Structures are given as structure tokens and as C-alpha cells.
Amino acid sequence: MLTDDVEIDVIGQHLDHCEHCQSLLQRLPTIVDVGQSGTTQYASEISAELLARRSREFSRDAIPRKIGKYRIDGVLARGGMSTVYRGYHPTLQQTVAVKSLGGTRVFSEQSRRSLIDEQKTLGKIRHPSIVSVMDAELDNGIPFIVMEHVSGRNLAELVRQDGRFDLVDACAILAAVCDALISVHLSGYVHQDVKPANIMLTDDGIPKLLDLGLAIHETEESPRIGGTPRFIAPEQISGHMRPNTRSDLYAVGATLLFLVSGELPPDSRDPDYEVKVQQRVRSMPPRLRSTALNLLKHDPALRTQSITEVRDLFAEFGSSSSRINLRLAIGDVRPQRRRRSFGVVMSIIVVAMLGSISLLFSKATRWHSVKPFEHPYFVISAADTPDAPGLLSRQQAANTGKQIDTVYPRPSPKNSVWSHSGNQIACIGNDGVLRVYDVKDDRIVDVHLLCCYNDSDVDMPQICWLGDDRQILVGASIRYPLQIWDVQNQTCLYKIIPDSEVLATAWEPGLRRIAIADERGSVSVYSQDAALLRERSVIPSSPIKSIAFDPKGERLAVLGAHGVLRVISVSDLATSVEFDLATSASSVTWHPDGDRLFAGTNDGVVVEIDVSSTGNPMAHHELGRGIVASIQWNRKGDRLAVGSWDTVVWNPNLDSIDKLTQSSSYNWSTVDWHENRLLLASVDSGLTIWDADNKSETRLMESSLQQVLSIAWNPIRRQAAISTMTGNLFVIDLDGKLLWHDDPTEGNLALGSLDWSPDGSRLCGINEWQQDLFVWDAETSSLVKTHTVENGVLTAAWLNDNVILCGGTSGLLQIVELGAAESTAGLKLDGTIRDVSRNTLGTLAAVANEGSGVYIIDMAMVDAPAISKNFLEGESIRSIDWSPNSKELAVTSNDGQLRVIDAESGVARHTLKNQPLRPQVARWSNTGTAIAAGDYGIFNANGLQRNRFIPINCYAYAWTIPEGPILGGTWTDTVNCFADDSGTLAWKLILHHSGSATLIRSDGTLLSSDSEEFKVTPTH
């Protein structure tokens, strides 16, 4: 084993000069345990095995006649700890590869059984560019794994025997490899050992990723560290950082160098490493050269982050390959030329995992005739849907305007800024999409998905133009890196990976510098090419809410959340002067004279500060209402725009105030000047340009407040009820057609927590703003009851056909008996009630409580409910749902965990944590075999292995008919129908303020709810 850096150095130096060893290296099994800090749980067992092997004769010639039920017909390959045989599957009657881990006799029984269980899980995974596992068992105590039989040669052999690959073929191969790695990463795993010897090229021209044995799950507390010298990432060698997806990206870059040069990539520990890498990639096309250099960065934080982007680039350069069958590997969009023959190719089996002890599972993600559906965002044509104005995106036009996966919905703007020329506007909505709007041509010129998040995920998305009209710095939260986005070429040039939540950014045009401030109180300064220049803790342990360069670019104003305002030098980030506003604040801006600062507080006051004054420097102006989230002077310094719950423009010379917008839902606006034009972005009011001279406004984009809050499926009537943030109720059929609509809150916000009665005849929902409980009759499609319930109600659920349970911030579980004069007092619990679910018989209620965990309430006597059990005490539980058999509960918590717990004992049978997104809700499938978790995807209920990650921000899920369509409601105005848990999109439904809707079918057909084809007469 390699456990010493000196030993690795010696071997590395030898490899530089020994061609025989370089060749041998490509044929050797993976080297395990690189790095001292990566000691694995199997290290002692592997060491014991090596010692045991030295002390005994091991016959390498003996071939068993049978392993398990599989007939053995010969040896395909031998490795240090395993042998791969050609076998015969008696049931399928086909040739297979049987890998016997005969060198693992000294492994513990627990280790062997764990290995087998893992392989069985992997057997469910399929991808065209990953070798599939068919079976795994023990034979006389020895583990064996059965895999598909493939004919071909690995890339190391091909290079050694036939010479290096041309660039087109190499890119085509790596496009397939990256597509396979996407499946690996979406499953939560890191491969750890991507290299030419672990990539097979089949006789059909399909690349196959091998040797997933070192794969580690991102949640492993003591991950197995491994890899192969020259292809292993620097962070894996040092052991100072756990491997992640960026480690695999490094190996992809190293493999690219090997394929196109025929030589091993440079040693990452070589002092001249970067120079040697640049020499290798010098002849590549500029875009590919830039990507290769990024992949091979020493620092993983500076490495290219998106493997999807890398795959797309490789596919673009490799699409003309006649040797690699991209159509079968990942479904390339271009027609394939006839593959020319390789010549005589020996038929061998994929020798997977030699010298390894675990196999990575992956989930199939294939390209089809068009790129796969990756997100649900779209802009639709005003001509097609007058009720939802928008513009065709460039991608949609390129795809004949008919592709459902290229449409983006209208968002609620969260932040927007002018370009320096004033010809373009960049806007980020609550859907996580960047839109660039051409003011002159009145059209959207670029649409880019940044992330999937909801309003509670970020304080405010960051966005600013850099220097000209070509580049934008954009970002959303710690879960997604800051990106420097090239608008013209629609590509990400650089990414900045912050260590903490970024709360503020600023651009200094003189020396072209970017300032970034975070929630820990630190300020960082970067160059325009994302190189870190300096970093310093400016307001320790205090979130920095706003930063601003002075007009000369020499000083930076830094505003802490608690009202501490410091002016620091840009050259060294040292503080020159400090002020205490004595109140919480959110925004700061310089006056054009450079002597005064203006800070917006959280109580609507703007504080004027004379930085040059030695006396009392502060004056207070009551200009806003609520949080002043955005504040900016125009260039002349005669108008100050204040974005709070109201948006106002103050003219200090005339002492006049123009009120532009007024929020009824406590959402603030962002403001940005260009000359005399003010750009306003508001979740309430949309995107607006206000002309200060003419005092007129132009509305660019209406806001969408139709965020889907709840979806409930009626299995008896086969209908789905949908509620939105604007208080609208939509009832649809399984084809997405609108059956009926209601607006019970009359425009008041937040209709949620829908639930159908067990007999399917009635529907209930709540409005937390008015403390109302609504009940509709499905037969008459009308509202029949309105009950006033406890203040702060958040959830409601039917206990039986006549009783509804309600709960909220008061902690009171209320019991509403229909027909009774008023609800009974119910049961008082500690903490906030977030969710309620009943068991199948209606005798028990499970309550999700923020602060007190899970309560099981005995409801056998409705008028005398009693606490039966209390699980997960002290935890903040967000959602809860009984399994169909009433034996288990699916539980999500505010710390990001998804758990399946035993309803009797409260013991967690399965737990999923440390995920990049927080689950909003979790709901069981009708069969009890799967769980849909908002923001997470679809999981197998037994073990919480992801069946499918649907990369959308679904706040609400609903399962329909058994194993059938799944409905997902987004934080935009869209409901997505997935045909099954494979993630195939069947249709989209756009919900409008007026109560109408637009249906977009999978073939791109648009249907308005006003059309005859859309209208449906409900079946009563």
C-alpha cells in the first residue's frame, strides 16, 4: 500500500523514466489508500490479506467449474485480489463476467455481507456508459459479483497498441464518460479512479466506465480514499480534503491529456506542473484548451464546477466522430456517420474493480433526440398566451419553438441591474433563472438557469455587470457558486466558490475588481478573471448586508446586519473609520461627492453620514417603510432611490418624494439608476423602468405570485387540487385540464394545506393570513364552509369524513367537526405545528412540530385526544406523512434530514442528510415503495436510495394513481406532471392570476383554458 508521501515521490520519479512501468501502470488494478488521512475501514483487513497471501501458496491456475449458480468457462483476467471468469447465466442463457473476490478470505463476515448488499443495490442501476452489475452473492464464504459481458479494449491498451487518439474521438469518449459520471454524482457518489485503463471502448464504439470499486458516498464519515498516480487529484494525494465531484473532473482532464498525447499526464506535485500542462494543451482549440486548464487546476475551488457543461463541450467537439457511437452512448443530437472498423480487436470482458472492494451505483441519465429536460423554467410567447406575456428564448427559436424543455416561465423578480451602456438589463427571479433583457429591441437575449431555490433560501440573489455589456457576476447562495457569465457566448467563464453565504457584491470599474462580502463578516476582493487578490474579516461574526465602492474606487463601505458601518481601504482592507447606526440595517450607498454615505435601516429610515466630519456626522431621513433593502443615488446626486416595502425617489434639493410602488405583502424592491431612468425589481410589482424626468413608467415584466403551495390528489374522483400564494384554487384532471377554479380569499395571499376527505367528496384548505379554514364540495364545485380557526394556522388535514385537524404557531391542535357550531378546544402542544397526517384508519394523527419533534396523537375519542408518543424531541420537524400501511412515517426536518421512522418505536430506519438542498415536504407513494421529497427527488422507501433526482424546485408533490404520474408544484406559477418516477415530463400547467391556465404538452402544444379543447365538464 502507498501510505507515505516519500514512497509515492520515489515511485513517481521512477515512473518518469521507466516506459515499461508506465505501460504496466495502465494495466494494474487501482492503488488503494493513497494519503495518510484517508485510512479506510478496510485498511487493516487488506493489510492482513496481503500478509496472509505471502505466507501461503496461492494457485492461480485452478479454475472452478461453478461459482454459485454460474458455470465457469474460462479466465478473462486476474488481479491482485480478484479473478474475473467467463461465466454462463443459466436463467438468461447468456455469457456473463463472474468476478470472484477470492483474495478476501480474511475479511470479516460483516464486511463481506456489506459488500454483497452494496452490489445488489448497484444491480438496479443502468446507464449505457457504465458496466451493469447483474448479481452478487457468497460462494463458500467468498464474495462474487456477476456483470455484463462486453467485448472491447480499454483506452490504455488502445493507446499502447494503436497510438494516441485524435481530438474528435477523445472528446466523444469523454462526453460519454462525463454523462456516466453525472449519474454517479447525482446518486451522491464520487468515482475516485477515472483513468484510461478504467474506460473500455466496446466493439460497437461505446465507451464504458469501469472500476467503480473505490467510489465513495458523499455522506461517508470515513471515506475510502484511492486513485492512480498521474490521474488522481492533488487533494486525494494530500488527504487534506475529502474527495468530491471536482476530484473526478480533475481525472477527466488528466485522461484527456493522455488520450491526445499518448503520454502520462504531468505529476501534480511537479514544481513545473502548470507549465507542462499548458504545453500539452497549447494546440487545442481555445474553448477546449480553457476547459482543460480549468479541469487540471491544483485548487479544486478554481476547477471547472459543472460536469454537465464539460459533457456538453466534449459532445460538441466530438459530435463528428465516426469511431465513437455517441448516439448509443448518450444519444447525441447529430446524425451518426457509419463507424469505420477498428481492425482486429480481441474480445475481452470488462475487468471491473480489480483490487477494489466496493462498487459505485449510478442512475441512468441519457440524451435523447434533444437535450434532456433539466429544469422547468420557461418564457412563453405573448401571442400564444396573452394572459402571461413573455418572449421566445433564443434556445426555443433554435428548436423550432416546439420544445417543452426550452421554455422558461415568468418569474417574480428578486434583483435587477442596468448594464453600463443602459442597453441591457439583467434580472434574477425567484425561479433561480438569470434573464438578460435587451431594452432597445424589447426582447430577452439570454436565459440561464443558475439554481433551484425558494424565497427562503437566500436573502437576495447577487448580480452586477462587469465593465461592459458582456459579462455579469451572478450568484444565489452557498449552495451555488458565483458565476462570471458571458452574455454574448452564453457560457460561464469563471466560478467563485465561497466558503460562506454571499450576501453582497460590488464592482469597481477603475482597476476592474470584484468585492464580495459574506455572512461571517469577511470581505474578499477578486480580479475580473476570478483570482483572489485579498481577503479579511472586517466585521467578525456579523453578516455583512451591503458593500459599496466609493466613486474613486479607493474605499469600500461595509455595512453589518446589526448597524456597524466601516469604511475600509481597498488596498489592504484595513478599517479607516467606523460608525454605529444603533439599529439593524440592510443597504448602503455613496453619494457621488464621495464624502457622504447613506445607509438604509430595517425600520424605513435612511441615515446620512458625513465621512469627513469630526463632529456628529449623522442625519436621519424617514423615507421608506419597513426594510430598506436597496438604496442608490443617481449620477448627478440629485435623486436618491429607496427600495423598501414602498419604493420612493427623494429629491433633496426640492425636498420632494415620489412614491412609485407600494407592497401589500411585505416584499421590498431593488433599485438601480442609469442616467435618469430607474430600474425597479419587485416580487409584487414585477420589473419596471421609471423615467424620473417625465415621471412615467414602463412595465417590462409582470410579477408571478402564483407560487404553488399545495397539491392534493383525489383518488376517488381522479382529480388534483392546487393552491397558490395568491389564494387561487385550481382543480384539474390527470391530463392537466382545468375542471374548476375558485378564489376564496378574494386576492389575499397564501391558500395552502389542501386535503381531500377520505370519501373524496370534500376538500379543505387554510388561509393563514385570515385564519380561515375553507371546505369545498366536489360534487357542486363550490365553497360550502368557512371556519375561523386559531391565529397562525399553518396546516389542516382530514381525520375522517366529518372531522378536520388544524394546527399552527400557537401549538394548539384544533379539532373542527363539520356541522358543529364551532371547533372544539383540541390539544395544546409545545412548539409550532407544521404538518399533520392521519393513519389509514383515522385513529392516530402524526404531528410535525418545530421544536418538539414528532407527536403521535390518539384520536380514538375525538373529543378527548391524547398524546400517545413523542419522538425526536427537541428537533424542528417540517413535514410528516404516514406510510400506506400505517407502520412508518416519512419525516423532514429543518436541518435538511429526510428520515423514515418506525411509527411504534420512533427509531429511524433510514436517514438521508448532508444533501445540498433542503427537503420541503415528503410524501409516500400509493404503494408505499417510494417517497417524493421536495427539492430532493424520488427515493426508494427502503434505504432512501435515490430513484430519480428531478432537478426542479418542487415545493409541493402529489402522487396520483399507483406507480403513475407525479405532480410537482414549483415556486413559480407552474405545475409539472412527470409520467412516472423516471422523471419523464408529460405536461406543464401555467397558472394565471385571473384563474385561467395554459397547458403545455410534451410535444410543445399550447392550450389555453379558454379554448374548447381545454374545457372539461366535471364528472359528478
Tell me if 544 sits within 8 A of 521, measured CB to CB.
Answer: yes
Residue 862 lies in a domain: yes
Tell me if 894 sits within 8 A of 878, measured CB to CB.
Answer: yes
Percent of the chain with pLDDT over 90: 23
Claim to verify: residue 847 and residue 721 sit in the same structural domain = yes
Cα 901 from Cα 513, distance rounded (Å): 51
Three-state secondary structure call for residue 829: coil
How confident is the model over 451-503, as pLDDT tens digits? 543 333 444 578 889 877 888 888 755 555 788 888 877 777 888 877 777 88
Q: Which of 913, 932, 962 represents a domain boundary (last residue)?
A: 962
Helices 245-261 & 167-186, crossing angle to 10 degrees?
A: 160
Query: pTM (2 decimals)?
Result: 0.49
String of DSSP letters for 370-430: SPPP--------TTT-TTS-----HHHHHTTT--GGG------EEEEEE-TTSSEEEEEET
- pLDDT-derived band of residue 1003, with 50, 70 and 90 as boundaries? low
Claim to verify: residue 823 and residue 956 sit in the same structural domain = yes
pLDDT at 760: 93
pLDDT at 397: 35
Instruction: Report which of residues 245 and 650 the model is more confident about.
Output: 650
Claim to verify: residue 617 and residue 716 sit in the same structural domain = no
Claim to verify: residue 734 and residue 618 sit in the same structural domain = no
Claim to verify: residue 793 and residue 940 sit in the same structural domain = yes
Q: Please give the mean pLDDT across all residues of the chain.
A: 75
pLDDT at 924: 86
Does 935 qualify as catalytic in the annotation? no
Residue 769 lies in a domain: yes
- pLDDT-derived band of residue 951, with 50, 70 and 90 as boundaries? very low
Cell, residue 1014: 381545454
Helices (H) and strands (E) in the chain, counts: 13, 71
Claim to verify: residue 751 and residue 878 sit in the same structural domain = yes
Tell me if 81 sits within 8 A of 104, measured CB to CB.
Answer: yes
Rounded (to 5) percent helix, strand, coil in the chain: 15, 40, 45
From the list 849, 847, 871, 842, the residue with the least C-alpha distance to 857 is: 847
Cα 521 from Cα 500, distance rounded (Å): 10
- pLDDT-derived band of residue 669, with 50, 70 and 90 as boundaries? confident
Domain count, the chain: 2
User: Does 858 have pLDDT greater than 70?
Assistant: yes
Mean per-residue pLDDT, 758-765: 94
Mean per-residue pLDDT, 591-595: 93
* Domain range for 541: 500-622
User: Does 372 have pLDDT greater than 50?
Assistant: no
User: Does 857 have pLDDT greater than 80?
Assistant: yes
For the chain, the first-to-last Cα distance in angstroms comes to 72
pLDDT at 250: 93
Gyration radius of the chain over CA positions: 31
Claim to verify: residue 729 and residue 598 sit in the same structural domain = no
pLDDT at 31: 35
Claim to verify: residue 956 and residue 850 sit in the same structural domain = yes
Residue 137 lies in a domain: no
Mean per-residue pLDDT, 741-760: 84
User: Of all helices (H) and strands (E), which one includes residue 795?
Assistant: strand 793-798
Residue 214 lies in a domain: no
Instruction: Report which of residues 319 and 425 the model is more confident about.
Output: 425
pLDDT at 382: 31
pLDDT at 405: 34
Instruction: Report which of residues 948 and 461 the model is more confident about.
Output: 461
Q: Which residue type does 843 have?
A: T
Q: Which of 587, 622, 657 represents a domain boundary (last residue)?
A: 622
Q: What angle do CA 650, 652, 656 make, to 5 degrees?
A: 55
Claim to verify: residue 617 and residue 724 sit in the same structural domain = no
Choose the weakest-confidence range: 49-58, 289-298, 642-651: 49-58
Residue 513 lies in a domain: yes
Choose the weakest-confidence range: 196-205, 396-405, 504-513, 813-822: 396-405
Residue 300 lies in a domain: no
User: Does 255 have pLDDT greater than 60?
Assistant: yes
User: Does 29 have pLDDT greater than 70?
Assistant: no
Cα 450 from Cα 447, distance rounded (Å): 10
How confident is the model over 298-340, as pLDDT tens digits? 888 788 767 888 988 898 888 878 788 776 666 433 323 323 3
User: Does 374 have pLDDT greater than 60?
Assistant: no
How confident is the model over 151-189, as pLDDT tens digits? 888 899 999 998 999 899 999 999 999 988 887 776 667
Cα 539 from Cα 585, distance rounded (Å): 14
Residue 754 lies in a domain: yes
pLDDT at 632: 95
- pLDDT-derived band of residue 901, with 50, 70 and 90 as boundaries? very high
Q: Which of 567, 599, 622 represents a domain boundary (last residue)?
A: 622
Mean per-residue pLDDT, 566-583: 91
Strand (E) positions, 40-81? Answer: 66-67, 70-78
pLDDT at 462: 81
User: Does 1 have pLDDT greater than 50?
Assistant: no
Give the Å distances, CA to CA, from 546 to 460, 523, 553: 11, 11, 16
User: Does 622 have pLDDT greater than 70?
Assistant: yes
pLDDT at 541: 79
Claim to verify: residue 851 and residue 724 sit in the same structural domain = yes
What is the CATH classification number for the domain harbouring 595?
2.130.10.10
Which of 33, 179, 193, 405 is labelled catalytic? 193
Claim to verify: residue 746 and residue 866 sit in the same structural domain = yes
pLDDT at 347: 33
Q: What angle do CA 418, 423, 424 make, to 5 degrees?
A: 50
Residue 672 lies in a domain: no
User: Does 205 have pLDDT greater than 60?
Assistant: yes
